[in-house]
């Protein structure tokens, strides 16, 4: 027993040693800032003058803030459009590329490239593509006979769809890679059994492939939702939240309040709201997974 507990002690020490580097980083750059932001959200602070405790003042102000309501609506619009599109296209491309087609590797790399491309660079290029006077998109639309093409980033109606298109373009490769890995994890004997059971084509996709892929789908869904709630760079580069806040989303609004208006307390409160939304969304997903996610 004595020798055993000594060994246990040594193992525990080794475990702490291995955990230490990431623990230090996590504490410094995640835990402390999160706690600090939580505290700051109950204050009024402009970075220069001393903090002033205001209780739930920032939160009540947020829920009466018309811009914040618009921002919430925009964020919901963005998430609800970009997540399903990313996933649908990612899955479709993965299904095609999972077959033994020519140039498979080339296409896999091509579709994944946007994921590793600098968002800022990509957003700049897309801004030019969407430019209503000189952009290639409107040039094409005109040549196809569209007489009055949208003003895209300059239009309150079309700016958000344009941002969504770029976001889907950028993230579809990530979903594709995950779906491809998921597809390749499906055992071929299951497909053999399905072939003997007359499950072909769409039937096979619906009754076999999709259910077998559900753990991957679940993971992609969670990751995409969290990622979409945090959209920032695209908005920052392409529209600066305009026109008339048409593309202002939660993280951008937090940035605006914190670093343009120097309302740290208010920005922190908005950040807490974002945190709560993502947390609740993820919890709901976890609760729902019993109904549709099947692990091996």
Partner 1 sequence: MSIIKLENARKSYGELEVLHGANLSVDDGEFCVFVGPSGCGKSTLLRMIAGLEEISDGNISIDGSVVNDVDPAERGVAMVFQSYALYPHMSVEQNMGFGLRMTGVPKPDIVRRVHEAAEILQIEELLARRPAQLSGGQRQRVAIGRAIVRNPKVFLFDEPLSNLDAELRVQMRVEIAKLHERLGNTMIYVTHDQTEAMTLADKIVVMRAGRIEQVGRPIDLYSDPNNIFVAGFLGSPKMNMLSAQLVRRNGTLQAELAGDISMPLPEISEFSGNDQQITIGIRPEHMERQEGNATTMELPVDVVEELGGTRYVYARGPSGEQVIVEQRGQRDPETKTVTARFLTDDIRVFDADGNRLR
- Please state the φ and ψ torsions of residue 53, each to the nearest 5 degrees: -70, 130
Considering the complex, state which of residue 106 and residue 295 has its C-beta at the smaller distance from partner 1: 295
DSSP β-ladder status, 43-44 and 52-53: antiparallel
Collapsing DSSP states into helix, strand and coil, what is residue 69?
helix
Binding segment for partner 1 (CB under 8 A), chosen from 196-204, 222-230, 233-241, 249-257, is 196-204
Measured in residues, the chain has a length of: 296
Give the shortest CB-192-to-partner 1 separation in angstroms. 5
Residue 212 touches partner 1, criterion: CB under 8 A: yes
CA-wise closest residue to 223 among 120, 30, 93, 83: 83
* CB-nearer residue toward partner 1: 52 or 187: 187
Which of 69, 187 has the CB closer to partner 1?
Answer: 187
Q: Which range in 56-64, 94-102, 168-176, 207-215 contacts partner 1 by CB under 8 A?
A: 207-215
CA distance 97 to 110: 12
From residue 41, give the alpha-carbon distance in Å to each of 63, 75, 185, 254, 258.
14, 21, 45, 12, 11
Under the criterion CB under 8 A, does residue 208 sit at the interface with partner 1? yes
List the interface residues with partner 1, window 131-190 (CB under 8 A): 187, 189-190
Q: Is 209 helix (H, G, I), strand (E, B) or coil?
A: helix
| Integer angstrom CA distances of residue 162 from 61, 75, 92, 155, 242 | 31, 14, 22, 10, 12
Does position 14 interact with partner 1 (CB under 8 A)? The reply is no
Is 214 among the residues that bind partner 1 (CB under 8 A)?
A: yes
Of 99-107, 127-135, 200-208, 242-250, the segment contacting partner 1 by CB under 8 A is 200-208
With CB under 8 A as the contact rule, the residue among 50, 144, 196, 202 that binds partner 1 is: 196
Residues in contact with partner 1 by CB under 8 A are 187, 189-190, 192-200, 203, 207-208, 211-212, 214, 294-296
């Amino acid at each position: 027993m004595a020798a055993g507990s000594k060994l246990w002690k040594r193992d525990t020490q080794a475990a702490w040693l291995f955990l230490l580097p990431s623990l230090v980083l996590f504490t410094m750059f995640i835990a402390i800032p999160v706690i600090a932001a939580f505290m700051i959200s109950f204050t009024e602070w402009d970075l220069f003058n001393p903090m002033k405790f205001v209780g739930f003042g920032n939160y009540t102000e947020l829920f009466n803030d018309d811009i914040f309501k618009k921002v919430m609506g925009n964020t919901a619009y963005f998430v609800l459009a970009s997540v399903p599109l990313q996933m649908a296209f990612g899955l479709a491309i993965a299904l095609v590329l999972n077959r033994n087609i020519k140039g498979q590797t080339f296409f896999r790399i091509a579709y994944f490239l946007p994921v590793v491309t600098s968002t800022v660079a990509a957003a700049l290029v897309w801004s030019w593509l969407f430019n209503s006077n000189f952009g290639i998109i409107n040039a094409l639309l005109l040549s196809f006979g569209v007489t009055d093409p949208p003003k895209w980033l300059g239009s309150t109606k079309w700016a958000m769809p344009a941002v969504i298109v770029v976001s889907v373009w950028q993230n579809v490769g990530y979903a594709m890679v995950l779906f491809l890995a998921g597809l390749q994890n499906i055992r071929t004997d299951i497909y053999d059994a399905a072939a003997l059971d007359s499950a072909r084509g769409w039937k096979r996709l619906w009754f076999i492939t999709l259910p077998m892929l559900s753990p991957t789908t679940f993971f992609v869904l969670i990751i995409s939702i969290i990622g979409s709630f945090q959209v920032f760079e695209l908005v920052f580069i392409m529209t600066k939240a305009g026109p008339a806040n048409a593309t202002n989303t939660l993280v951008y609004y937090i940035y605006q309040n914190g670093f343009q208006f120097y309302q740290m307390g208010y920005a922190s409160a908005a950040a807490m709201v974002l945190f709560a939304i993502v947390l609740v969304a993820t919890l709901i997903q976890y609760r729902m997974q019993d109904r549709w996610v099947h692990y091996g």
